Amino acid sequence: MVNNLSELLSEYPLLDKIRHYQPIYWQNPDFGKNAQLPLSRADVFDAAARFERFAPYFEVAFPETVQSKGILESPLIDISDMQTKLTDLSGKPIPGNLYLKADSMLPISGSIKSRGGIYEVLKFAEKIALQKTNLTYMDDYSVLASPRFHKLFSNYGIMVGSTGNLGLSIGIAAASFGFKTTVHMSVDARQWKKDLLRKHGVTVVEYDNDVSYAIAEGRKEAAKDPKIHFIDDESSRDLFLGYSVAGIRVQKQLKDLGIKPSKENPVFVYLPAGVGGSPSGVSFGLETIMPEGIYPVFAEPDHVTSVTVGMMTKLYDKIAVADLGLDGKTAADGLAVPRSSKIAGRIMDTLLWGSESFEDDDIYRYLTLLEDTEGIKVEPSAAAGFTAIYPTIKRFSDPKALSRATHIVWATGGNLVPEEEMNRYYQHGKELLAVKK
């Protein structure tokens, strides 16, 4: 609980708008300043190399990855029909070109959590295999899918607290190795995610409370057994680095499109933020690999602006949205995180260009428009990036650079959502669009 609320309110006037659930835009005054970061380019490449070593494992354990040779990556898609539609609807053009980074199509979890969540499972599996067997870094890691290793891994456990997708990615990946896996789920978690995990043999513990609580309970439970590894969404360096590998992959995807980010050719990246780990890890990776021309913007529900509030006040995880009187409720289940990560915001101090908040109705409008124009289905949280485009354009002061801008909306999840549920989202968006805003 913060004890100097009135001081904070006078120092940061935006907090008052936030308190009244009004959409806000925060432009980070420290963007682009020099800073000593606790992680480096070498850490990003180390994580990328680990993913490479495990590629033969994925090909065996998850045949859906054979096509990509065991690499978990998503396409960067030109969505100019969506761009035209948005211009028609708003009467305002979006200068530059619009793309979708379709993490909704990532193998295994159908969400951005196939980056961070799965990476930390790999790291743990590799550590045990190196300690307990004669595995070497040069070996073909498909051997880890054999019964011998499955038996070894079944002596160990993995635990995590989650609103859904993190649990889903870790649960499915960890179970494939044979780890005893437990996911502590918050009240926002969708039923189908729990059902799917149980089908994979994962133990699901349900709480009638928010994700901070579920994480705390999981952490306590895991601490009782040294053979259990707890994946901590609030403070894990490995999760963060798993996300950061996107920087290397996107550099190449941009090159293939003829795009080289620079001050004259800015690349805006719009990312939904929950605890802040995935958007920060991705942004860190992009800016580490491409030090010029990347402008990350976070999007948060106006009822759960935890990352924005933490970064703006520099209190980070020491302030929760309840401290401002917010109810923390949102239909974007992946973003229902009342308190931000301990590490993400601090690392983003000089890397984040801005952040904004949106009302839930807007993400349904955008997910319906995306399906109508491009035939791409995403879950509500994953459409949040669209809400940041116009407010960002409005504040970017270089019109010449803006006319050459690349806008990347990071669509963070969706492919595993059951069809009827997706249809309900779509219908809801249709109804909202039918009523003029």
- Residue placing its CB nearer to ligand PLP in the complex, 128 or 321: 321
Q: Does 74 bind ligand PLP (CB under 6 A)?
A: no
Supply 370's token pair.
Answer: 């995306």
Residue nearest to ligand PLP (CB): 274
DSSP 3-state of 220: helix
Determine the interface stretch with ligand PLP among 68-76, 107-115, 349-357, 392-400 (rule: CB under 6 A). 107-115
Q: Does 305 bind ligand PLP (CB under 6 A)?
A: no
Distance CA 269, CA 286 (A): 9
Shortest CB 424 distance to ligand PLP, Å: 17
Q: Does 165 bind ligand PLP (CB under 6 A)?
A: yes
Phi-psi map region of 110: left, alpha, beta (phi>0 left; psi -120 to 50 alpha): left
Burial class (CB in 10 A: 0-12, 13-18, 19+), 332: buried
Total residues interacting with ligand PLP, rule: CB under 6 A: 21
Shortest CB 338 distance to ligand PLP, Å: 12
Of the candidate residues 110, 274, 296, 429, the single one contacting ligand PLP (CB under 6 A): 274
Phi, psi angles (nearest 5°) of residue 212: -60, -40
- Residue placing its CB nearer to ligand PLP in the complex, 278 or 355: 278
Shortest CB 42 distance to ligand PLP, Å: 23
- Residue placing its CB nearer to ligand PLP in the complex, 272 or 391: 272
Q: Does 272 bind ligand PLP (CB under 6 A)?
A: yes
Q: Does 334 bind ligand PLP (CB under 6 A)?
A: yes
Of the candidate residues 273, 286, 297, 351, the single one contacting ligand PLP (CB under 6 A): 273
Nearest-CA neighbor of 408 among 125, 75, 105? 75
Q: What is the DSSP string of 294-320?
A: EEEEEEEETT--HHHHHHHHT-GGG-B
Give per-residue burial for 150-184: e unless 16+ CB within 10 Å, then b: eebbeebbbbbbbbbbbbbbbbbbbbbbbbbbbbb
Of the candidate residues 94, 112, 197, 304, the single one contacting ligand PLP (CB under 6 A): 112
Q: Does 169 bind ligand PLP (CB under 6 A)?
A: no
**69 contacts: CB under 8 Å, gap ≥ 6:** 55, 59
Q: Does 167 bind ligand PLP (CB under 6 A)?
A: no
Give the long-range contacts of residues 325-328, CB within 8 A, separation 24 or more: 325/19, 326/18, 326/19, 326/21, 327/303, 328/210, 328/303, 328/304
- Residue placing its CB nearer to ligand PLP in the complex, 115 or 365: 115
Cβ atoms 113, 166 nearer than 8 A? yes
Q: Does 328 bind ligand PLP (CB under 6 A)?
A: no
Residues in the chain: 437
Determine the interface stretch with ligand PLP among 146-154, 270-278, 365-373, 426-434 (rule: CB under 6 A). 270-278
Distance CA 198, CA 189 (A): 14
Q: Does 379 bind ligand PLP (CB under 6 A)?
A: yes
Distance CA 213, CA 324 (A): 18
Of the candidate residues 244, 355, 368, 412, the single one contacting ligand PLP (CB under 6 A): 412
Determine the interface stretch with ligand PLP among 50-58, 248-256, 268-276, 345-353 (rule: CB under 6 A). 268-276
How many CB atoms within 10 Å of residue 4? 10
Instruction: Tell me which residues touch ligand PLP (CB under 6 A).
Output: 111-113, 165-166, 272-279, 334-335, 337, 379, 381-382, 412-413
